[in-house]
Amino acid sequence: MIETPALNFNVIAPTLALVISAVVVLLADLFLSSSRKHVLAYLAGLGVVAAFFVNGMQWRAAGTAFVGAAGMAVADGYALFFNYVFLTVAGLAVLISADYTDREGLAQGEYYGLLLLSTAGMTVMAAATDLMVLFVGLEILSIPLYVLAGLKPDGTVLINTERAASDLKLKTSARVVTFPATQIALEELGRPIMNTAIMGAFSGVSGAISFEAIEQSIRHRFPEELGEKNVRAARRAYELIKEQAQ
């Protein structure tokens, strides 16, 4: 008969606090009106504080290492220290983003829930002493981050291709802009190094940084001839994007 290893919940107590908080935030998001979504930031903050408190209780048990799952996870001084780091960063993220998410009308429930779940994955990785547990923690950390990095509905996608955006037939509500960065780099630099072309295209499509600033940065970074080539690559991409916008 295969014996099931006993699970010491002390090992995953901070993780459980974060997961439970994430579930509470997601459930609360279903019932709160749009004018009260800011409450979710407080709930997420309380979840981080609860996990911080639990971690502190374990930290006070000086010299005690909580072992669980047949030794595959351990809440020792190393894990608890990094839990403090992860929870501090998560708390700061909640504080910094609270006003922005409320002002921009973003999906706050999903944002805070995913943030808490990603932090939970970090705590699993800190406690892992087995490769499988480490992998599980990495997945719990990574998947919410992939979703958090998702594009806003009114965002813009820059694609390096010679094909027109209409030919790609992408199912997205975002604006799709295509430009041949590789071709530009080959023609101007003689190598498929697209960095400066992409910078020029980004400047043209977003306006977040002026082309003059990019040109100045390129000339400062590269010698005269190489700098001139990179400036031409960036300018071609910039002008191409501007032409498409007209």
- 3 state SS for 52-91: HHHHHHHHHCCCCCEEECCCCEEECHHHHHHHHHHHHHHH
Block means of pLDDT (10 residues each) for the chain, length 246 residues?
58 88 92 84 93 85 52 77 92 89 75 92 86 85 83 77 81 79 90 89 87 89 87 91 79
pLDDT of the residue at 66: 47
Q: Which CATH class is domain 156-245?
A: alpha beta
Distance separating alpha carbons of residues 202 and 211, to the nearest angstrom: 9
Distance from the Cα of residue 9 to its chain's centroid: 29
pLDDT of the residue at 173: 67
pLDDT of the residue at 61: 66
pTM of the predicted model, to two decimals?
A: 0.63
pLDDT of the residue at 153: 66
pLDDT of the residue at 8: 63
User: Which sequence spans correspond to the domains of the chain?
Assistant: 13-148, 156-245
Measured from the Cβ of residue 120, the count of other Cβ atoms closer than 10 Å reads 28
Residue type, 29: D
pLDDT of the residue at 24: 94
Report phi then psi at 177, rounded to 5.
Answer: -125, 130
pLDDT of the residue at 148: 80
